[in-house]
Amino acid sequence: MERAILEVWPGKAYPLGATYDGTGTNFGLFSEVADKVELCLFGADGTESRVTLPEVDGFVWHGFIPNIEPGQRYGFRVHGPYDPAEGLRCNPNKLLLDPYSKAIDGNFDWNQSLFGYTFGEPDSRNDDDSAAAMPKSVVINPFFDWGSDRPPGYEYADSVIYEAHVKGLTQTHPDIPEQIRGTYAAVAHPAIIEHLTSLGVTALELMPVHHFANDSTLLEKGLTNYWGYNTIGFFAPDSKYSSSPNPGGQVQEFKAMVRALHEAGIEVLLDVVYNHTAEGNHLGPTASFRGIDNAAYYRLVEDDKRYYMDYTGTGNSLNVGHPHSLQLIMDSLRYWVTEMHVDGFRFDLASTLAREFYDVDRLSTFFELVQQDPTVSQVKLIAEPWDVGPGGYQVGNFPPQWTEWNGKYRDTVRDYWRGEPATLDEFAYRLTGSADLYEHTARRPVASINFVTAHDGFTLRDLVSYNEKHNEANGEDNNDGESHNRSWNCGAEGPTDDAEVNALRARQQRNFLATLLLSQGVPMISHGDELGRTQQGNNNVYCQDNELSWIDWDNADTELMEFTRTVAALRAAHPVFRRRRFFSGDTVRRRGGEGLPDIAWLAPDGSEMSDEDWDSGFAKSIAVYLNGQGIPYLDVRGQRVVDDSFLLCFNAHHEPIEFALPARHFAAAWLPVIDTAADDDIQGTEVAAGAKVSVGARSVLVLHAPTE
């Protein structure tokens, strides 16, 4: 081993990680249990030079080394106590990634050296050196020409979110050069940006791009951790999505992607996994946090600290009750906003972050820190409001500044369109922003991130094509993935030549998309749903990095795409679908006419819904009047917001239903603008007030009444 003599200055305890200033690099690592910390520098040929960090302040070990430049690969070795029963797992024979790595180079070579114990003997100590098997942290160039970059800054109410996977979105697109497909550069390609803007997308929510580890168990099966919910670097954009051959080049490429999306008026949101790390449970590798300060970074079982509390189903949970774990999370969030210019975050299994002790506490320290932080509090914050621990399902219970993936919206809308009984009243709540979930905490309809499908589960096409999951390709005998999907195959399981079944499936997809885009709240489209993407019935493609999970651009459903664009444009053009306040039912006085409520629920015969109608378990048809003159707020110029009025007729019955249009004082005439029962764009003819219109079996009809 080469031990080069390097000049080492004391440096600074902050910021943590590796910070290049143009003359050299400062290194800082927190460890409360360390006796000594060695910085390990690696040459291009893999030779290692070790330097003992000379200073420690507030448990931060630090030093500055002149002439260390971007591209330098490094890691740490932490000397300290090894006593797993007490939660102590220091071992200087294990090379450790910097928790504050801005970039990571290389992959894990899964062998015995990565583990702190000998296989089959979990209480033993293994002193094999792991450096050769470890990826390396990389010193980055922090400088980037952002030009005139500014965050688009959309209000939630005006947002349309598109959830996508960097590779899955771009890997097969024929207009993207092959050498950049599957990368950040591909996401920034004009072909992708044009597609997103044509759909009215205002925010691209990327599935995890924090550097993650591929599980050895998946690699042994010829599979991979495709989704990326296995983070090992909370500051580092994953190099697997970079077209740059240079260590650290992924940082510049990611920034260029953000700049291009911002230029097109698209925000960038990141799906972040701060609830656990890739080190797993007590049988996992010692790759970073575990070997640095195990008890500070992880929740350990109180009466046997060899083991980890697991609220995530992945083996461990970050210890958000410890100040340095909280600092790591907050520093990471601020870094992605200030240095990488992202516009917000979706927090995976966010209930875990609320568990200061055992129970979920929405006022835990983490949420207090976010509330008080002048940077993080100003970006979009979206919670996945559940985890796998006791009491983990917390839809509707997050703090006021947070929005939430509304799992009840997904379940209710799926049940309604597959014809489940007794769903009408809850369907009405979900369509109008879920006031029953959010109004009691002074939140507004935009607290509800509405979705029908997401990365986890069936695609939209599969939702209407399969009753059962088909996950055999995952190698778990079809035991993985959710079994209760609230799906309906429309009469045949999987692909079929039956024209009637295929027509119904196409209509059901249109129903879901129309409902989603015309509901109050914030719609989220799962990538490829507008193109008819299928995973062949696999509802858990977390390990499938192949054609099964990628968008098949060559076989895109262009008719469905055009329909989605049409409905999205209708939403964008009319603020009555993007209200910032819940409906009140109050009467809105109109000049020279009768007062009308801001919303009215009508039975198919045109009468207002009665209690008996709402309680009817078999009812599957309803109309809702949205009063464009009943929007109770002013725009940014202080002008009253006024819009046209709309009538939305929903029919989940298996036969057509005649709907009587409301009386003349609602509107003199109505013009059909969306009909999911039509195979192409409708050229509607005005229908007089009080007349009857036929709403097709399992379809939505949207009628428009211009402001008088």
Q: Which residue has the tokens 């006593």?
A: 83
CA dihedral 665, 670, 674, 680 (to 10 degrees): 170
Domain 584-705 has CATH 2.60.40.1180: yes
Q: Which of 98, 384, 462, 598 is catalytic?
A: 384
Equal CATH topology for 17-139 and 584-705: yes
**pTM of the predicted structure, to 2 decimals:** 0.97
- Residue-by-residue DSSP string for 21-32: -SSEEEEEEE-S
Distance CA 29, CA 97 (A): 10
Collapsing DSSP to helix, strand or coil, 693 comes out as strand
Model pLDDT for residues 522-569, shown as the tens digit of each residue: 999 999 999 999 999 999 999 999 999 999 999 999 999 999 999 999
- The average pLDDT across 650-663 equals 96
Q: What percent of the chain has pLDDT over 70?
A: 97
Model pLDDT for residues 26-56, shown as the tens digit of each residue: 999 999 999 999 999 999 999 999 999 999 9
The pLDDT confidence band at residue 359, using thresholds 50, 70 and 90, is low
CA dihedral 447, 450, 455, 461 (to 10 degrees): 180
Q: What angle do CA 399, 381, 565 make, to 5 degrees?
A: 125
Model pLDDT for residues 361-402, shown as the tens digit of each residue: 655 788 889 999 999 999 999 999 877 777 778 888 888 889
Looking at the domain that runs over 160-576, which CATH code has it been given? 3.20.20.80
Q: At what angle do helices 323-338 and 289-297 cross, to 10 degrees?
A: 110
The pLDDT confidence band at residue 636, using thresholds 50, 70 and 90, is confident
Domain ranges of the chain: 17-139, 160-576, 584-705
Distance CA 704, CA 708 (A): 12
Model pLDDT for residues 424-465, shown as the tens digit of each residue: 999 999 999 999 999 988 999 999 999 999 999 999 999 999
| Residue 384 a catalytic site member | yes
In this structure, are residues 46 and 34 in contact, taking their beta carbons and an 8 Å threshold? Answer: no
Residue 398 Cα to chain centre, angstroms = 16
What is the per-residue burial (b if ≥16 Cβ within 10 Å, else e) of 463-490?
A: bbbbeebbbebbeeebebbeeebbbbbb
Residue 243 Cα to chain centre, angstroms = 23
Model pLDDT for residues 215-244, shown as the tens digit of each residue: 999 999 999 999 999 999 999 999 999 999
Distance CA 521, CA 432 (A): 8
Q: Which fold has domain 17-139?
A: Immunoglobulin-like (2.60.40)
Distance CA 554, CA 532 (A): 11
Q: Which of 98, 310, 348, 613 is catalytic?
A: 348
- Averaging pLDDT over each range in 12-21, 307-316, 395-404, 435-444, which range is the top one? 12-21
| Residue 127 a catalytic site member | no
In this structure, are residues 606 and 663 in contact, taking their beta carbons and an 8 Å threshold? Answer: yes
For the chain, the average pLDDT equals 94
pLDDT at 682: 67
pLDDT at 146: 98
Distance CA 605, CA 622 (A): 10
Distance CA 288, CA 327 (A): 16
Query: In whole angstroms, how far apart are CA 579 and each of 52, 446, 525, 634, 641?
Result: 59, 8, 19, 11, 10
Distance CA 704, CA 432 (A): 18
- The average pLDDT across 687-707 equals 93
